[in-house]
Amino acid sequence: MNAMVPMTPAAAMSDALFALTLALLLLAPLAIAGVALINAGLGRSRSAAQALLGNLALGAIAVIVFALVGASFAGTPGTSEAALHVAGKIWGVLGLGPFLMHGLGSAAPQAQLALLFEFMAVAMAAMIPWGSGADRWRLSAGCAAAAVLAGIVFPLAAHWIWGGGWLAQLGANFGLGAGFLDSGGAATVHALGGLAALALVWIAGPRRGKFPREGLSTAMPGHNAVYVLFGCLLALVGWLAWNTAGAVIWLHAPLAALPGAAINTSLSAAAALLATFAVTRFRFGKPDASLCANGWLAGLVTSTACAALATPAEAIFAGAVAGFFTPLLVEVLELAISIDDPSGAIAVHGASGLWGLVAAGFFAPQAGQLTAQLVGIAALLGIVLPLVYLLFALLNRLVEFRVDPDGERIGMDLHELGGGAYPEFVIHRDESYR
Amino acid sequence: MKYAGLLVMPAGFLLTLAALLLFPDPTRRLAFVMCGLAVEAMGLAVAVRGHMPARGASRP
């Protein structure tokens, strides 16, 4: 199997390819469902209903805000944009399309598919930080943060990368490969979501009792490993659809290239799982279920950047690296720098997304592609992270992120919803409050 | 200190942009982009250090 040559000129899409891509996009929400289930399972039982309702609510807010304003700022290649003219080059910064998706019905089929893809992407990006704020992030604050991400941050990144903005034009303007490549949303969805998760946990702080005055941090394991592991299987189906649809929409891949993208997605996840399995077996004596789930997801996230560009051997390598480092990074984040991230989103989505983008730079055939990918990563770290932090810090003054101590003690389900996810079960008292 | 770190990160990004404009040679450009990323990494490290809670801060 040969590596696919990306960014071939967009030809008119055949009806068959349109129908196939649409069908794939209708399966892509299974990735969102899988991540939602994983987030719920990795949280505590007394916050499980709030966690899943939050995933639904954040996704709902994100798609509505994106439809109202975000899609306009994201734009599509060839439409009007706000641009800077520096050194004789045009630097597209922000799309200036019509609001409320005006003219959607008369848009080209490929543009309609791109918009549908962005709807899935914005929902996923908004949900990723939710898992990191489990057991302490208020639902109303989560919805407000989702609106900010969907209305400002995601459209900005989406325009730069998918909407013909300055990152997409790095190839044409500076001869850097085919410009910044991100066919599955490793940057716009996963790295953005992971960096937003980091900003969130910095602002909201750790769960009460997580980091005691003395000794190691308190272990607060997820309440349902079955949800977590089934979520991984569900996510695989969604990711296969997501990556293959992304290859068609953003790289203009031919039909013959799609099986390779799907195979690489599976290989990356499989290699990552086995690597995490081996690392946790070596470190703890037994494989750790939740970390293995994190490893599997890290492999899938890595594949979003490079599944359509890599050979199978390269996909295995990229997945194995993600799977090897993810459990170690989860451990470092918690034990060395006191970051309380129940879902592991910072390592799984943030770090693995960034690694996938670097790997895509290594695997792509064009000269200068690695530089283009690194410039994109620099934009994510240097602009997107500080911007998200600033917006979240301002939002925290308007809608307080963190629940009050009493709410945290009794659980988010009772405090925010008035009832638990498992009303017939006895919920055990938290040992850390003794 | 946490805000200082977050301010250093855009400075690193500006270095990567400068690399695009100043260096037509691919090797020098890549090296300068890496320098920009290194500056961002230092800013991130400072921000992480600034956000680390004091031991016991989360105890009820």
Q: What is the pLDDT of residues A69-92, one digit of tens each?
A: 999 999 887 778 888 898 888 899
Of all residues in chain A, the one with the smallest CA distance to B34 is A374
Residue A375's region, left for phi above 0, alpha for psi from -120 to 50, else beta, is alpha
- Residue B26 touches partner A, C-beta closer than 8 Å: yes
Q: What ranges in B1-60 are assigned the alpha helix state H? A: 2-22, 26-51
- Residue A379 touches partner B, C-beta closer than 8 Å: yes
User: Minimal Cα–Cα distance from A166 to chain B, Å?
Assistant: 11
pLDDT of residue A426: 63
* DSSP 3-state of A112: helix
Q: From chain B, pick out residues whose CB is under 8 angstroms from the CB of A379.
A: 13, 16
Of all residues in chain B, the one with the smallest CA distance to A210 is B58
Mean model confidence pLDDT for chain A: 91
pLDDT of residue A2: 39
Given a cut of 80, whether residue A241 has pLDDT beyond it is: yes
> Do the chains contact at B40 and A207, CB–CB below 8 Å?
no
- Residue A383 touches partner B, C-beta closer than 8 Å: yes
Nearest CB among A214, A340, A381 relative to B40 is that of: A381
Q: What percent of chain A has pLDDT over 90?
A: 74
Tell me: the pLDDT tens digits for A20-51? Answer: 999 999 999 999 999 999 999 999 999 999 99
- Residue A205 touches partner B, C-beta closer than 8 Å: yes
Nearest CB among B13, B48, B60 relative to A383 is that of: B13
Nearest CB among B2, B13, B59 relative to A213 is that of: B59
Interface test with B, best of A374, A396, A409 (most B CBs within 10 A): A374
CA distance to A245, A246, A251, A410, per residue, from A14 (Å): 14, 16, 15, 56
- CA-to-CA distance for A4 and A311, rounded, in angstroms? 9
Given a cut of 90, whether residue A381 has pLDDT beyond it is: yes
Q: From chain B, pick out residues whose CB is under 8 angstroms from the CB of A433.
A: 60
Instruction: Identify the band that residue A9 occupies on the pLDDT scale cut at 50, 70 and 90.
Output: very low
CA distance to A7, A24, A28, per residue, from A17 (Å): 17, 10, 16
- CA-to-CA distance for A247 and A186, rounded, in angstroms? 13
A43 alpha carbon, distance to own chain's centre: 18
- CA-to-CA distance for A70 and A90, rounded, in angstroms? 22
- Residue A336 touches partner B, C-beta closer than 8 Å: no
Calculate Rg over the CA atoms of chain A: 21
Q: From chain B, pick out residues whose CB is under 8 angstroms from the CB of A393.
A: none
Tell me: the pLDDT tens digits for A258-293? Answer: 999 999 999 999 999 999 999 999 999 999 999 999
> Do the chains contact at B9 and A386, CB–CB below 8 Å?
yes
Of all residues in chain B, the one with the smallest CA distance to A91 is B17
Q: Which residues of B, range 40-59, sit inside 8 Å of A by Cβ?
A: 40, 44, 47-49, 51-53, 55-59
Selection from A233, A230, A255 nearest residue A245 by Cα: A255
Both tokens assigned to A117: 């893809």
Reported residue count of chain A is 434
pLDDT of residue A6: 44
| ipTM metric | 0.92
- A312: how many CB neighbours lie within 10 A of its CB? 14
For residue A29, report the phi and psi dihedrals to the nearest 5 degrees. Answer: -60, -15
